[in-house]
A and B are shown apart, each in its own frame.
Chain A
Amino acid sequence: MKGLLEVEGLDVFLGGSHVLKGVSFAVLEGGVTALLGRNGVGKTTTIRAIMGLSDRHGRIRLGDADLTRERTDRIVRRGVGYVPEDRDVFTTLTVAENLRLAERNGSARYDLVYDLFPELRQRGGQRAGTLSGGQQQMLAIARALLNENRLLLIDEPTKGLAPLLVTEVAKALEKAAEITTVLLVEQNLGVVHRIADQVVVLDVGRVVHTGPAKEFLANPGLVHRYLGVSGAEAA
């Protein structure tokens, strides 16, 4: 089946290490595809390679567009939003300035992001560096949702968040999935169970499993083998 995003034979070398070894998978249009795997198997590297933030070899297509040799800013302007693992909000800028910087094409969806995260409107004049981790995550997601994108790449959005905030972020991700396709890196299997339609599982730089999320999570043997946790934790 032809996917919205198609990755073929992706190789990435970092500091002399062969981190991604011929990674191939497709992200179908609509819904959430979760990119899973233990720590250090190459999930974040895969996302960064798609974004053009790492040197990579292979082929990456978004619809009919070949992204393989594109610069990061051009990839984004083709309709790819990005929420990095460490949020990477601009700490010296205010919340409003962070959002203003993310505006593209003069059609920013402030109503949508303020509806999802009303706190951001109230804290518009506050420096992003003084926000809590959860608020910074909301800002990072809001930045990606501000523009109409065909695909969102979201890297570990619940990492380090309190359980209450995890629920809030998961709600935002569900909303994001209603309006665009999402490729999500997520360690919290509860969140994956709640919102993911498909999974792509990586192990030591290779894709070892792809398929419906529910089927994967319902197979304790697979979950334990590739994620190192019991299947019960996924439920």
Chain B
Amino acid sequence: MSTWVLLTITGLGLGAMYFLIASGLSLIYGLMGVLNFAHGAFITVGAYASWYAQGKLGGIDSVPLRFVVAAIVGLAVGGMIAILTELVLIRPLYQRHIEQVLVTVGLGLALTALVAGIWTQTQQVYLTPTWLTETTGVFGASIPNDRFVEIAAAVVVLVGLLAFFRYTRYGLIVRAGVENRAMVMALGIDVRKAFTLVFALGGLAAALAGILSGVYFGGIDPARGTHLLIYAFIVVVIGGLGSILGSAAAAVIVGLTQQYANYYASSGVGDIAVILLLAAVLLVRPGGLSGAVAAH
């Protein structure tokens, strides 16, 4: 029982990070038709900006406070990189999807190489508040506290996104734009502002995932973003392109599948199980769990 609880909560923590990355990817594709391969770089850059800020904030004695302030810096940098990517690289290539894919692949590779060039491939250790590295007993299982933070962060982002879509005009524009971008423009709305906003939200969520991954894995390295991005793409496809709730459900399924398969079968089987799951969903329900392209 305690093993199952540990695997489940750890799987949910992993799924939470997948969701944070996949939500941005899914929205960007749903609204703009852009497969953003630079999203992994947003994760890496956000994580490294936070780690770098930790080193520069030595004047803050309180570790939790330093962690939070550094995380805010990481989020801001992740959001800014995403906005600049949209404005400088994606916007001039509007409707030219092949070129957009190429430029995002190039940017992802370049930023990852830049980070590795400056700080080497060596894993950098995160300064983490003590409480996050401790454990809490749940039904006899000792659960690392960071898992709860990762799950809570994903839930807050999910609820925040759903509230944004439901109660704000820009949320309405994004939902409509996912369905029919040209008609949104034909109502007199500058849909490009929604593009920038969605990129910014995606960048923030990706940077948050990067920061939390530093806690989850005990450190960060330049390949972290690329590694997580692969699973996030799988989550987006399983959940249904453009669907936030679909991504949330798929992230939970993928995270749990990986954990259970790695433990109950053999270490490494989790990745194969996820690929098989992806293949099964594509065969049975090609539109993903949501079955439709919609930001709901």
Contact = CB atoms under 8 A, between A and B. Distances in A.
Interface in B152-204: 169, 172-173, 175-176, 179-180, 182-191
B164 to A, nearest CB: 14
Interface in A64-115: 71-73, 76-77, 82, 84, 88, 90-93, 97, 100-102, 104
A101 B179 contact: no
A76 B188 contact: yes
Contact of B186 (A51, A93, A97, A104): A51
B70 interface: no
Contacts, number: 56
A229 B6 CA distance: 75
A143 interface: yes
A100 B180 contact: no
Nearest to B294: A92
B179 A102 contact: no
Given A73-B191, A92-B294, A92-B296, A101 B176 contact: yes
Specify which of B182, B183, B186 lies most central, judged by the most chain A CB atoms within 10 Å of its CB: B186
A194 to B, nearest CB: 27
Contacts of B188: 73, 76-77, 104, 147
A100 B172 contact: yes
Contact of A93 (B176, B189, B190, B292): B176
Contacts of A147: 188
A102 B185 CA distance: 10
A82 B185 CA distance: 11
Nearest to B187: A102
A88 B175 CA distance: 14
B187 A101 contact: yes
Interface residues of B, number: 20
A14 interface: no
A53 interface: yes
Interface string A129-144: 0000000000000010
B189 A73 contact: yes
Contacts of A88: 180, 183, 186
A72 B180 contact: no
Interface in A127-166: 143, 147
Contacts of B187: 73, 76, 101-102, 104, 143
B186 A76 contact: yes
A91 B179 contact: yes
A53 B182 contact: yes
B185 A101 contact: no
A3 to B, nearest CB: 22
B272 to A, nearest CB: 36
A73 B190 contact: yes
Given A73-B191, A90-B179, A92-B294, A101 B186 contact: no
B218 to A, nearest CB: 42
A147 B189 CA distance: 13
Interface string B93-111: 0000000000000000000
A129 B292 CA distance: 13
Contacts of A53: 182, 185-186
25 contacts: A51-B186, A53-B182, A53-B185, A53-B186, A71-B190, A73-B186, A73-B187, A73-B188, A76-B185, A76-B187, A82-B186, A88-B183, A90-B176, A91-B179, A92-B175, A92-B292, A92-B296, A93-B172, A93-B179, A100-B169, A101-B172, A101-B173, A101-B176, A101-B184, A101-B187
Interface of A: 51, 53, 71-73, 76-77, 82, 84, 88, 90-93, 97, 100-102, 104, 143, 147
